[in-house]
Amino acid sequence: MFRKIALWTASALIAFTSLHFDLQEAPGDKLVGVWEPSNGRARVKIDRIGTKYYGRIVWLIEPNDPETGLPKTDKNNPDPALQKVPLKGYRMLKDFVYQPDGTWSEGTIYDPLNGSTYNCVIKMKDKNTLEIRGYIGVQALGRTDVWKRLAVQPSKK
Amino acid sequence: MSMLRSSLALLAVSLAAGALQAQTDTSANEDYSMYDNLGFADSGAKRYCSPKIEGLSPAKLISLGYDVQGPYALAAGDLLASDGSTVLGQTAQVRATHGIRAAFNIPVVSKTHLVWQMGANYWASNYTYADEVNATSHPLHQSLSEHGLRTAGVSTTVFKPLDSKRFVLFQGSADLSGSYGIGLMPADYLKYSAALIYGKRPTEKKQWGVGVARTYRVGELNYIPVILYNSTDALNKWGAEVLFPARAHVRRTINPRNMLFAGYELEGQSFRLWQNPGSGFDLRKEDLEIRRGEARLRVVYECSLKDFIWLSVQAGYRVNARYDVDRLVGGREIYRAFGLLRDDAYAQVNGLGNPLYFNVSLNLVSP
């Protein structure tokens, strides 16, 4: 009996620890939130999963494909198997790790407009502004986009 | 025993939880309408328009290519020398004009409110004559046959959005063009070109602008109005990429990694005639420049070979507009303003046949 209780307790403890580790706020969590790229055509929600940060599209200014009238899918993806995946919910930022220098790197950014994936580094200029640099191999061969943090707007009376 | 198995299973599930979370998206049933009513957290933030529009062909960061023009006749006219003598003209058959074309264009500043790029380019035009022995009896043919023409230059582009719809675009370049060697690049003969455009970007798929340019594209210095117009249709199938009068193309987008263009580009520059080998008439004692201007009517196919490496293949017809030799006056070029200000005769009036041409390049394109 004692052995059973000990096993259950140990398992529950590990499960709780694992969950707690995920819920605990990390220094890089200031990145978490909803952000808008400079073109204003999409909104991206960034979350932490484990120790890495991911961003998925949660809003599109033009949610439907003008050709089909149906919700947009990732039709420009070079992998035909992924071309039917809805863009809304699509993870376009992947695998970012918060670094001691205050940046998030080691991740990639995906551009649904051309189906290309780039290396990417994220810098927080201030708490509401991100500089997202997509690049090819070395940072000099890249382009920086500025994203702004979004918040719920107070309803107008 | 069964209790032990279930405990181990729970343990395994616990350990695997983190890994599973990283791979799966648990937002399938998310109510996305919650993201509709959002605004900038920083109320003072402004939106700026982007330098690109949706569907535009990708900008080339690095380009390495080769350009070949087919056979044509080059009729060199009588050359009026500075001592009053005349070198009689001579027509020669050029088997091919060919050379490398390399360019890079790197973003220096890439912010929402300012984009600044710097670039450099090198173009070579080597002239292969059908009959080298006869062709080299004339100083122009001698020089072209032996040294060809080269252009090396630097350029800069500044895009300054004023707000979410309006922008200002500046492009400037300094080029050294002529029959010089690597060690002979007299800075006195740098040619400066520039364009300033004010534009609007009313939608994500259209931008237009008007401005002025100082240009050598028609062969000699001119100040001309320019019109910028880029657009993409609603279905991202067709578009236009125009910087009139320098170039204008209709774009057919097969998919974002395969594009077909039809249109034209004006190419031109003033080339310092500095070297010719052998004895006799010495070009270095003259102050001469070739005013070369040509239109390239063409079809261009561009595609992604792998990720960001794009192939560009173009074929078309090279139509000569001007290939005349002009004499500098007091070391300065003559500004004719299309004959409105001055109407000085050229030192040599030349005629070129119009051959087919072919160009292929490998390009690293921008994100």
Assigned token pair, A23: 């819920």
**pLDDT of A8 higher than 80:** no
Name which of B22, B235, B307 is nearest A67 (Cβ-Cβ): B235
Going by C-alpha positions, the residue among B48, B157, B162 that lies closest to residue B109 is B157
Residues A26/A32/A38/A44 CA torsion (nearest 10 deg): 140
Q: Would you call B28 and A89 a contact, using CB atoms and an 8 Å cutoff?
A: yes
Contacts of A19 in chain B (CB under 8 A): 17
pLDDT digits (tens, 9 = 90+) for B36-80: 888 888 877 788 899 999 999 999 999 999 999 999 999 999 988
CB count in 10 Å sphere of residue A15: 16
From chain A residues 27-66, the ones with a CB under 8 A of any chain B CB are: 34, 36, 38-41, 43, 45, 49-50, 52, 56, 58-59, 66
Instruction: Report the distance separating Cα A51 and Cα A21, nearest Å.
Output: 9
pLDDT digits (tens, 9 = 90+) for A91-135: 999 999 999 999 999 999 999 988 999 999 999 999 999 999 999
Residue with tokens 């009588």: B78
Q: Which residue(s) pair with B258 in the sheet?
A: B255, B303
Going by CATH, does the domain composed of A26-150 fall within 1.10.260.40?
Answer: no
Contacts of A43 in chain B (CB under 8 A): 35, 38
Instruction: Report the distance separating Cα B146 and Cα B128, nearest Å.
Output: 9
pLDDT digits (tens, 9 = 90+) for B4-39: 454 444 444 443 344 334 333 545 567 888 898 888
Instruction: Report the distance separating Cα A100 and Cα A102, nearest Å.
Output: 5
Instruction: Report the distance separating Cα A92 and Cα A124, nearest Å.
Output: 18
Assigned token pair, B177: 């063009």
Give the end-to-end CA distance of chain B in Å, rounded to a whole number. Answer: 58
- Name the 3-class secondary structure at B285: helix
Enumerate the domain spans of chain A.
26-150
Going by C-alpha positions, the residue among B277, B273, B284, B365 that lies closest to residue B325 is B273
**Which CA distances in Å does B122 have to B149, B151, B155, B176, B199?**
11, 6, 11, 10, 30
The ipTM is 0.77
Name which of A66, A67, A148 is nearest B40 (Cβ-Cβ): A148
State the pTM of this model.
0.84
